[in-house]
Amino acid sequence: MGSNFVIDPPAVITLPVSGDSRSFAVNRIYCVGRHYANYAREMGHDPDREPLFFFMRPASAIVADGKDIKFPNLSNDLRHEIEMVVAIGKGASKIPKRPALNTF
pLDDT in tens, 79-96: 777 777 676 666 777 878
Tell me, yes or no, whether 73 lies in a domain: no
* pLDDT tens-digit readout, 28-84: 888 887 777 787 788 788 878 878 888 898 888 888 778 888 788 888 887 777 777
Instruction: Count structural domains, the chain.
Output: 1
Tell me, yes or no, whether 4 lies in a domain: no
Tell me, yes or no, whether 37 lies in a domain: yes
Which is nearest to 68 in space by CA: 84, 80, 59, 76? 80
Residue 24: domain span: 13-64+87-102
Max alpha carbon distance in the chain (Å)?
58
Helix, coil or strand: residue 41: helix
* pLDDT tens-digit readout, 5-18: 999 888 898 888 87
Whole-structure pTM value: 0.57
Tell me, yes or no, whether 75 lies in a domain: no
Tell me, yes or no, whether 40 lies in a domain: yes
